[in-house]
Amino acid sequence: MVKEKIRNYIGENILFNPDGFPYADSTSFLETGIIDSMNVLELVVFIEENFQITVEDPDFTPDNFDSVEKIANYVNRKLELQSAG
């Protein structure tokens, strides 16, 4: 569900691709250059608004933001922490 929302957002708002996000979830943004630093800032706004989480400064790492899969894992971890807390 989280992954799907992220894929749709990137496909519609960043890639402007009528077929959505045409890459694998594991595709590296940095290596392929499909989205840039400004797009990542956009994604952060989208994630914070849609999943009601706050992205903290130390979380801005390629490990958390370099692919759809990594972002989804990050968001899910944050959501789990929130519901546990």
Partner 1 sequence: MINELVNYSKEALVLDEAIEVDRIIKMLRQIVLLRFHRQGAVVGIDGGVDSAVVLALSALAFGVGRVVGVMVPEREAGEENLRLAREHAEALGIRTVSEDITASLESCGCYQRRDEAIQKLFPRYKSDWKARIVLPSDLTEQGAAHVFYLVMEDPRGVEHREKLTLNEFRQITAASSFKQRIRMSMLYYHADLNNYAVVGSANKNEHELGIFVKYGDNGGDVNPIAHLFKTQVYQLAGYLGGMEEIQKRSHVLDASRSAGSQEESVFEIPFSVLDPIWMGYELGVPENQVAMAVDLETDQVIRIICNIISRKRTTDYLRASMVDVNNFE
Q: Check residue 22 for interaction with partner 1 (CB under 8 A).
A: no
* Rounded CA separation 78/74 (Å): 6
* Cα–Cα dist 31/1, whole Å: 25
61 contributes a contact to partner 1 by CB under 8 A: yes
Report whether 65 contacts 74 (CB < 8 A). yes
Residue with the two structure tokens 């994630």: 47
The least distance separating partner 1 from the CB of residue 56, rounded to whole angstroms, comes to 9
Q: 21 or 65, CB closer to partner 1? A: 65
Binding region for partner 1 (CB under 8 A): 30-31, 33, 36-38, 40-42, 44-45, 57, 60-62, 65-66
